[in-house]
């Protein structure tokens, strides 16, 4: 887990000047969920009955319209409906949103369009409607196939419901990600591997395997459950990676595994420090211009967000990112990729010269955490295992 208290190394300050802008993605945040999970620190809000679906959809579309001057003419390569629980949306709402996305933006013909789904909100007709609307990748928050662990995590679905949901999804989507978590309260090594083996029976195109962490502002953080110790959690991680490798899954990012080259294109754009426009309550954006990079955040509370959209001011905060911040943020993202990144990408995405981090690169290399040549920079196996130590070299003052 990367510490939130790390500070950026003082990269040599210089003016930002981009020769070409990075690829652009669109993120659409749906902030409601049926129940707030005790480990979740995302901007999600438990429903009290129904939620104002049509009002929110109209706010999303207006938010996108207001953002157009910042991204005018730029092609969008991926779209991601995140949450919260986007699968609470009706098929008609997703279709309305995507129709307006296509009208307002030059959406790439091969764009990856992902929607996150909770197995507890699955309906075959709804999945069919999502597919008809253009969604071509489904990401399902399974977390575990063990009912005891699902209850401990506060999930609203059972193991059997998760299995049924995957079977239904496979009728409509041929690109599916399953989210799993390990190092759960009182979980054993064998139970963690059972979850992975159960997921493999469905042969998903992509798997995300996350270590449960206790994040601030969560119920688990305030009342910590009994979790496996660090040694047991490390054993789980290593055995999960071994099991997936034996089944032909490529471990290409800290928590991401793909079968048959079905990479998560939207996430790869984040990790390679591409641009993204975020619309919806609490959504964040990173947008590049020839001479600057801006970060924005929308109003977080759904009601406040919709009220401010109605006044044409959805953005709560906006700041220009300094060259110092660009350098360390690039490394925080790109070094999560096990294959690393092309050396030229650092300059392309930050406008900084790679020489500005020469000392840090050399230190990481001497520590055995990094490999580099004239073309590529990548974490070693040791660097992947101790990613936080590697990033500290770039983040500490």
pLDDT digits (tens, 9 = 90+) for 102-150: 999 999 999 999 999 999 888 899 999 999 999 999 999 999 999 999 9
Predicted pLDDT at 111:
98
Kindly tell me if the per-residue pLDDT of 355 is higher than 70: yes
CB 101 within 8 Å of CB 67? no
Kindly tell me if the per-residue pLDDT of 397 is higher than 70: no
Helix axes 91-104, 53-71, angle to 10 degrees: 20
Render pLDDT for 286-300 as a digit per residue (tens, 0 to 9): 999 999 999 999 999
HSE-CB of 75 using CA atoms within 13 angstroms: 9
Taking 3-state DSSP, the helix, strand and coil percentages for the chain, each rounded to the nearest 5, stand at: 40, 25, 35
CB 180 within 8 Å of CB 210? yes
State in words which class domain 24-269 has: alpha beta
Q: What's the pTM?
A: 0.94
Kindly tell me if the per-residue pLDDT of 5 is higher than 60: no
Predicted pLDDT at 1:
34
Beta strands per DSSP E along 118-258? 137-143, 176-182, 206-211, 250-253, 256-258
Helices (H) and strands (E) in the chain — how many of each?
15, 17
CA distance 85 to 114: 13
Residue 14 pLDDT grade (very low, low, confident, very high; cuts 50, 70, 90)? low
Predicted pLDDT at 4:
39
Residues whose CB falls within 8 Å of the CB of residue 377, separated by 6 or more in sequence, listed in order: 340, 341, 343, 346, 361, 370, 371
316 φ, ψ (degrees, to nearest 5):
-85, -40
Kindly tell me if the per-residue pLDDT of 243 is higher than 90: yes
- Domain ranges within the chain, ordered by starting residue: 24-269, 323-395
CA distance 180 to 145: 9
CA distance 239 to 245: 10
Q: Which residues pair with 199 in a beta bridge?
A: none
CA distance 366 to 390: 11
CA distances from 282 to 11, 162, 261, 264, 273 (A): 29, 29, 32, 23, 20
Residue of 20, 34, 1 whose CA lies nearest to 290: 20
Kindly tell me if the per-residue pLDDT of 2 is higher than 50: no
Name the 3-class secondary structure at 237.
helix
- Determine which helix (DSSP H) or strand (DSSP E) holds 28, and give its type and residue range: strand 24-30
Kindly tell me if the per-residue pLDDT of 237 is higher than 70: yes
Per CATH, is 323-395 categorized as 3.90.960.10?
no
CA distance 313 to 358: 42
């Amino acid at each position: 887990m990367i510490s939130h208290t790390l500070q950026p190394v003082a990269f040599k300050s210089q003016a930002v000047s981009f020769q070409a802008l990075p690829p652009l993605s669109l993120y659409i945040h749906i902030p409601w969920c049926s129940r707030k999970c005790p480990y979740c620190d995302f901007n999600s809000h438990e429903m009290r009955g129904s939620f104002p679906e049509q009002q929110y959809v109209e706010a999303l579309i207006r938010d996108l319209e207001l953002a157009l001057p910042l991204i005018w003419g730029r092609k969008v390569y991926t779209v991601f409906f995140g949450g919260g629980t986007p699968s609470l949306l009706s098929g008609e709402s997703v279709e309305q949103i995507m129709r307006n996305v296509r009208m307002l933006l030059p959406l790439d013909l091969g764009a990856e369009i992902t929607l996150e789904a909770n197995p507890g909100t699955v309906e075959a007709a709804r999945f069919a409607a999502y597919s008809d609307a253009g969604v071509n990748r489904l990401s399902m928050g399974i977390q575990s196939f063990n009912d005891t662990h699902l209850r401990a995590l506060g999930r609203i679905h059972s193991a059997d419901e998760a299995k049924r949901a995957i079977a239904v999804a496979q009728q409509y989507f041929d690109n599916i990600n399953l989210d799993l978590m390990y190092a759960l309260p009182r979980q054993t090594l064998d139970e963690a591997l059972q979850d992975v083996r159960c997921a493999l029976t469905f042969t998903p195109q992509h798997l995300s395997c996350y270590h449960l962490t206790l994040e601030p502002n969560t119920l688990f953080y305030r009342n910590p459950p009994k979790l496996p110790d660090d040694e047991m959690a490390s054993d789980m991680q290593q055995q999960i990676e071994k099991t997936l490798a034996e089944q032909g899954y490529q471990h290409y990012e800290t928590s991401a595994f793909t079968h048959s080259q079905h990479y998560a294109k939207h996430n790869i754009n984040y990790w390679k420090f591409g641009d993204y426009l975020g619309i919806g309550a609490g959504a964040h954006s990173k947008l590049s211009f020839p001479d600057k990079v801006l970060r924005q955040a929308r109003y977080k509370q759904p009601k406040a967000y919709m009220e401010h959209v109605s006044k044409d001011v959805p953005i709560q905060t906006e700041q220009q990112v300094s060259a110092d911040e660009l350098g360390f943020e690039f490394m925080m993202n790109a070094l999560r990729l096990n294959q690393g990144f092309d050396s030229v990408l650092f300059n392309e995405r930050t406008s900084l010269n790679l020489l500005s981090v020469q000392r840090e690169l050399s230190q990481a290399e001497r520590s055995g955490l990094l490999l580099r040549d004239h073309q590529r920079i990548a974490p070693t196996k040791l660097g992947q295992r101790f990613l936080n130590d590697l990033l500290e070299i770039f983040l500490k003052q």
